[in-house]
Amino acid sequence: MHLFSGGGFLITLAVAGASNAALSNPSFGPSLNGVQTLQNSQSLKAPDDLRLLSNDVFTVLSHSAFPHHSVRVKRSDFCDGTVAAYTGYIDVQARHLFFYFFESRSEPEEDDVIFWTNGGPGGSSSIGLFMELGPCNVVNSSSTEYNPYSWNERANIFFIDQPVGVGFSYADYGEIVSSTEEAAVDIAAFAAIFFEHFKRFTGKPFHMAGESYGGRYIPLFAAAILDQNARLVEHGVPPVNLASVMIGNGLSNYLHMLQSWYEIQCTPASLPPVESISSCVRMKQAVPRCYKMIKEACFDVFDGLGCGAAKLFCESELVNIPAERNPYDLSRKCEGELADTLCYPITKDIVAYLNRPVTRALLGTDAIPANYSSIGWDLNRRFMALQDEMHPTQYYLEGLLERGVRVLIYVGAYDFICNWIGNERMTLNLEWTGQSEFVAQPLREWKVDGAVAGLTRSVGPLTFATIYGAGHMVPHDMPKESLELVKRWTGQEPL
């Protein structure tokens, strides 16, 4: 059994109904559920100020260092109502990645920039935007409401549908992305093009954040941006000021997470045990065998067939939560069928809201895909077939730490699939110059408004934190504590 490790999802880049092919032929494009979208071939001169962008026509951004990448962007004032909002696409020849960008409610020109992606793999960042940390929450299939705990209270923020094949992102001729390494190239190019063209944000601290499978995405995306900076300097372009990575309930080391599935189900690590004693005895006996099998076939030397067989056996032995339980929050029952609602029926309203012709016209989405979906199952199957989650993501985190990039690992205490025990174990086993000091540091309480919000451990650039009362999607479950966490982190204040 493979549990979709992405109740949280990806970041989005949006546009005004025009693919790259359409940009060479100004015309009214195909009808989108009865709404015609304007396709305009003009590459407007990129302004230094996003606020000068058109609401109706895309501005196309490019850079000589990235001849195969460009960015289409326009104003799309929606969702927040108090700040400027934009949508667009990262165009990689025939591939198109959709995004949303919201300016800060505080001081856009002074505040940091956050990139957000959900997980899956295959999950759309519309989940993060419309039910977690975005400026508005979808309340039903036709309306939204203001979110006072949005992370753009103190930061400028992107939400991106990636890789291609997720959400509103698509390919003209069926091109695919099958690994995080491939996806990282496009995200790094986008970051460079954006900061080069919009001088208001050039040099601003840039934080890459993600959830769930974002624990795999974000370390590689951040490393690609950091490694790319040397190339930018060669072209006379200011490097991207990568300040930190922020990973919520992430999957960054499968081996460490596998061990924790027994502990979270069969011990009072967060809640009373949810499994029967007989089931827990069977699981406990399987843990050392599974650890050995996965370590030898997937990590020590990668053996595709052996790794796949070990994963299939171990997940069947260790992923056994009762059907009525929500695997993303063990304190709750699953609402609806897991495969249909992810245990949160509001996800279906988000899909319906984004499929409304009036919504798509406002966002400026291209006519493809004809029907928006919050989960790209084809992409999920490709990534799983190549066992992308078994790749050594922890090495990228270690490399970032050694180069002074701050790393925040935060975890809702009630999650099962990407739980706090596995994430703590992952942080304690990271091999970097501060490891001994970090391991020796005891967990301590951190508070919000005088109330204990969770536990934390921090040394130098590495911080680990739990959030009480939250499951897999911390901003959804504990919005006030989530926002306070982000404010302190971007403000470089201790928790």
From the list 111, 388, 415, 477, the catalytic residue is 415
Q: What's the angle, vertex CA 384, arms to CA 380 and CA 390, rounded to 5?
A: 130
* 118 CB-contact burial (10 Å; exposed 0-12 / middle 13-18 / buried 19+): buried
Whole-number Å distance between alpha carbons of 199 and 332: 46
Alpha-carbon Rg for the chain, nearest whole angstrom, is 22
Place of tokens 């026509």: 57
Q: In the annotation, is 235 catalytic?
A: no
Q: Taking each helix axis from N to C terminus, what angle separates 304-318 and 277-294, rounded to the nearest 10 degrees? A: 170
In the set 70, 76, 124, 212, the catalytic residue is: 212
Tokens of 141: 């299939």
Grouping H, G, I as helix, E, B as strand and the rest as coil, residue 65 is coil
Q: How far is CA 26 from the centre of its chain?
A: 34
Query: Where does residue 212 fall: left (phi above 0), alpha (psi -120 to 50 degrees), or beta otherwise?
Result: left
* DSSP SS3 for 58: coil
CA distances from 377 to 380, 392, 444 (A): 5, 23, 40
**430-442 residues labelled b (16+ CB within 10 A) or e (exposed):** bebeebeebeebe
Spatial separation of the C-alpha atoms in residues 360 and 340, rounded to whole Å:
23
Query: Which residue in the list 472, 476, 477, 482 is annotated as catalytic?
Result: 472
The Cα-based distances of 371 to 24, 219, 328, 354 in angstroms read: 25, 31, 27, 9
Helices (H), 145-276: 180-197, 214-234, 254-266
133, 10 Cβ separation under 8 angstroms = no
Report the b/e string of 124-149 with b at 16+ CB within 10 A.
bbbbbbbbbbbbbbbeeeeebeebeb
- CA 84 to mean position of chain CA atoms: 22
Interatomic CA distance for residues 54 and 155, integer angstroms:
23
Instruction: Please give the backbone phi and psi of residue 303, each rounded to the nearest 5 degrees, phi first.
Output: -120, 105
415 noted as active-site residue: yes
DSSP H helices, 374-478, are: 377-385, 393-402, 420-428, 435-440, 474-477
Active site residue 472: yes
For every residue of 295-364, DSSP letters joined together read IIIIIIS--HHHHHHHHHHHHHHH----TTEETTEEEEE--S-HHHHTT-THHHHHHHHHTSHHHHHHHT
> Is the bond preceding residue 369 a cis peptide, omega within 30 degrees?
yes
Residues catalogued as catalytic: 212, 415, 472
